[in-house]
Structure 1
Amino acid sequence: MRNVKDQSRRGENLLEKKWMWMINIFIGKSILTDFYRGGKSMYKKMIKIVLAVSFIFLLTFNAGFSKTIKLRFYYPVGVTGPLAQVIDGMTNEFNASHPNIKVEPVYCGNYNNTMQKVQAAVMSGRPPDIAVVEISELYTLLALDSIIPLDKYIEKEGGKDFLNQYFSAFFGNAKARGKIWGFPFQRSTPVLYWNKDLFLKHAAELKAEGLDPERAPRTWYELVEYAKILTERSGNETKVYGLILPGGWNDWIFEGFVRQNGAQLISDDGKKAYFDTLDVLEPLILWYKLTNILKVSPPLRPWNTTPIDFAAGKAAMMYYSTGGLPTIRKQAKFRFGVAFLPKNVQYGTPVGGGDFHIFRKIPKEN
């Protein structure tokens, strides 16, 4: 019996090492490079890590367990589309090479739809085994007591030395109550997209104001000046906006302005808000100036249509997620660039996207 237990323990340790090793290989610091390059390689790395994490559910079993383990994986994407097809392909490849594990992807729509379905599943007593949800949902998941911390698995792989392989900022949204509850999966930041052809079209005007038409603005002052010159109007109609500040996730974009002013919206422990401080009000005044006084940015643009408008040449600059890069590359018929968000006191941008979580109260065999 002791030999059987020892063999089981060795099997568990091996599976744990495989799981953490695959996370190390498939995320790492290369994920941002892939994000900016675009293409399917990023998605292949993403799906491989989710499939790799399936190993964790085998840790309570001995190495000889033969029953097929079924893992339901909730993922924020529609049923149709290229990303769903990529995930299907990678999931099928994983399942074929691991006959005792069957990962079943459940495509839940956008982030909001996914969280609604996760919450409904948790409250019904049948939560998903793994899910990717938007990072701001961490405290909702904790309030539901629906996820497990990952610290003990990270510690077994070297603790801080293991975490140092990844961008520390991506773990800021995964930590609470002194523990790590999620792992960075598909992460993004807002960046500044700029239409190089429109900049050159207005090169003489930009140079007359001491601005370089060969680069994007680097400061708030330059952002305002570039946007004023690049805005094209015909009578009362705006043909081309100098800038688009998108709606929908505008709180996320606004957080970037606040960080550029050397401030933050809430304290690190989430217990105090700084909404009425001067350092936060200054970015709000800038936003209002751009949209309502100078009118170089539309007061409201839906999130999903913003990159379409930019790709159609309706704006010279755009604040948008790195996740919009494939759309711009595919649709834009002009040369464009991607740059840091302009600074005031400092450069700054928030992180976004989704973390994956492992859930409590799943079937014992999982």
Structure 2
Amino acid sequence: MSKTFWHRWGQLIAATLAVLAVVSGIAFTTTARNAAQASSGRIVISFWHSMNGPNGQLLDKIVDNFNQSQTKYKVVSQYEGSYGLAESKYINTLHTNVTPTIMQQSDIPTMTAVGDYVPIQQFADADHYDLNQFYPGILSGFKLKGKLQSMPFNASSSVMYYNKDLFKKYGVKPLSKSPSYSEIRAAAKALTEKSKGAVKGATLQIYPWLPEQLAANQNAVVVNKDNGRTAAATSAELNTPAMQRTFAWVQNMIKDGSFQNYGTGSSASANQMAGFLAGKIGIFMQSSAAAGTIAKGAKFKWGETFTVHADGVPANGVAAGGASLWISKDKSKAEQQGAWEFIKYAMEAKQQAAWQIGTGYIAVNKASVKTAALQTAIKKNPDINVPIEQLQAGKVNAATAGPFLVNSQMDQYLGTAMQQIYGGKDIKQSLQEAQDEVNKGIRDTNKNNAAILKSVFTK
């Protein structure tokens, strides 16, 4: 959620020449494909997504079912690689017949800054469509000034995972549903000591999204202007009591010898998962979408809990992650309406229940949990309902909306601060240095791109 526009924009420009080299070929094949589909008399709706493997197969099934449910529209889904690659293709083919009518994307700041979309709020208002059927804690992450920009589809949230068999083996009390920092620290220390170091009790990946969630759970924002949701943020809020408490907790576990630091970069997440599946890590925090990987790879009993909260601070809730569906502005009214009809279909309780069961993402429609299919799945494994229970228990406010920041510096400098803190550097000094650097970037962005920022907040 915190990926930002100008960093991504620089990467996209760097990729432009390579992408444009194949655009003409793509345009030809896309036009031919759409012409063939249109021969059936249906209005063709192109849909770019980033779901591969089993998730992609299930998405294609939802598309096929929609196409069979009516005769006016034909949705043609196409896997376009990772979110970053798909976004590059999208921006470099804007205003051509190649650009899709529906775009799945996780990078909200970039999509809003590029601006080639019609806000979902407009379709919902015109259709008198009830947005209250969805979890407000998820919708808030996709709103600006109270208006829904895109439809959350593959939603997730942060949770804690733990190895129940290791806890039982070493006589450690299982985690509570909503654990505190001290509870996690005590369990991590006990696992490490009782295993004589064969197990490291806990880890927290150097991944800025995670401390942002831990701040949200203390009702703390990370940028001003209501986390950048009501107006363009003008300053970061990183050196706060919430962040200080979070990293004091981490440093204490490091001092206990119960914390495993997997470092940074693309391999950190994979190594963390491998360590957990190998029984070398007792507890870790990650997206609820990781449950599918754990379920397939774990040879032991494991559990989920709500995201950990600071001692003495009531759990406020966390921000939703994942990606959403956007409707392109430069398509015909008929295509846009077809896109909206498909989105409504995909968001029905039955489809969302199947999506959660098959992928591990959260069923966004509140009625999904009442379907027979999802009730059966929850009865078989109650832990898959933890992210939903966490949403229901959480508050809907600026903190749980998550930060909206059209600026490139947050991830970079907060990540650097995490590395320094894990290495033993003073917490307040590290956070202040990160905050100062982020503020420089925010000032430059606001000064140089006033027109774009104005358009973002006036949609």
Q: TM above 0.5, one fold?
A: yes
Corresponding residue of 2:205: 246
Rounded Cα–Cα distance in structure 2 between residues aligned with 1:193 and 1:221: 16
Alignment of 1:306-317 (within 5 A): 306-317=272-283
- Does residue 75 in structure 1 map to residue 49 in structure 2? yes
- Does residue 262 in structure 1 map to residue 219 in structure 2? yes
Q: How far has the Cα of 1:352 moved from its partner?
A: 0.3
Cα distance change of structure 1 residues 354 and 197 upon mapping to structure 2, 3 Å threshold: same
Report percent identity of matched pairs: 26
Partner SS for 2:208: helix
Q: How far has the Cα of 1:282 moved from its partner?
A: 2.7
Cα distance change of structure 1 residues 69 and 284 upon mapping to structure 2, 3 Å threshold: same
Give the residue type in structure 2 aligned to 1:306.
Answer: Q
Q: Report the count of equivalent residues.
A: 285
Contact 1:199 1:214 in 2 (8 A): no
Q: How far has the Cα of 1:317 moved from its partner?
A: 0.9
Alignment of 1:214-253 (within 5 A): 215=176, 218-231=179-192, 239-247=198-206, 250-253=207-210
Rounded Cα–Cα distance in structure 1 between residues aligned with 2:178 and 2:46: 46
TM-score norm. by structure 2 comes to 0.56
Rounded Cα–Cα distance in structure 2 between residues aligned with 1:198 and 1:216: 18
Cα distance change of structure 1 residues 291 and 359 upon mapping to structure 2, 3 Å threshold: farther
Cα distance change of structure 1 residues 142 and 311 upon mapping to structure 2, 3 Å threshold: same
Contact 2:48 2:103 in 1 (8 A): yes
Alignment of 1:1-366 (within 5 A): 67-78=41-52, 81-122=53-94, 126-134=98-106, 137-158=107-128, 162-203=130-171, 206=172, 212-213=173-174, 215=176, 218-231=179-192, 239-247=198-206, 250-267=207-224, 268=226, 270=228, 271=233, 272-291=235-254, 294=257, 296-300=259-263, 302-344=268-310, 345-347=313-315, 348-363=317-332, 365-366=334-335
Cα distance change of structure 1 residues 216 and 334 upon mapping to structure 2, 3 Å threshold: farther
More relative contact order, 1 or 2 (CA 8 Å, 6+ apart): 2
Judge which range, 220-229 or 281-290, deviates more.
281-290
Rounded Cα–Cα distance in structure 2 between residues aligned with 1:90 and 1:217: 34
Give the residue type in structure 2 aligned to 1:147.
Answer: Y
Unaligned runs of 5+ in 1: 1-65, 207-211
Higher-helix-fraction structure: 2
Rounded Cα–Cα distance in structure 1 between residues aligned with 2:237 and 2:45: 42
Contact 1:149 1:181 in 2 (8 A): yes
Q: How far has the Cα of 1:358 moved from its partner?
A: 0.6
Cα distance change of structure 1 residues 188 and 109 upon mapping to structure 2, 3 Å threshold: same
Cα distance change of structure 1 residues 351 and 89 upon mapping to structure 2, 3 Å threshold: closer
RMSD between aligned residues:
2.9
TM-score norm. by structure 1 comes to 0.69
Cα distance change of structure 1 residues 156 and 148 upon mapping to structure 2, 3 Å threshold: closer
Contact 1:197 1:334 in 2 (8 A): yes
Partner SS for 1:106: strand
Partner SS for 1:164: helix
Rounded Cα–Cα distance in structure 2 between residues aligned with 1:190 and 1:178: 23
Rounded Cα–Cα distance in structure 2 between residues aligned with 1:189 and 1:241: 24
Deviation per residue, 1:195-251 (Å, 9 max, x gap): 111111221xx4xxxxx346577111111121122126999xx6422113234xx21
Cα distance change of structure 1 residues 199 and 76 upon mapping to structure 2, 3 Å threshold: same
Partner SS for 2:202: coil
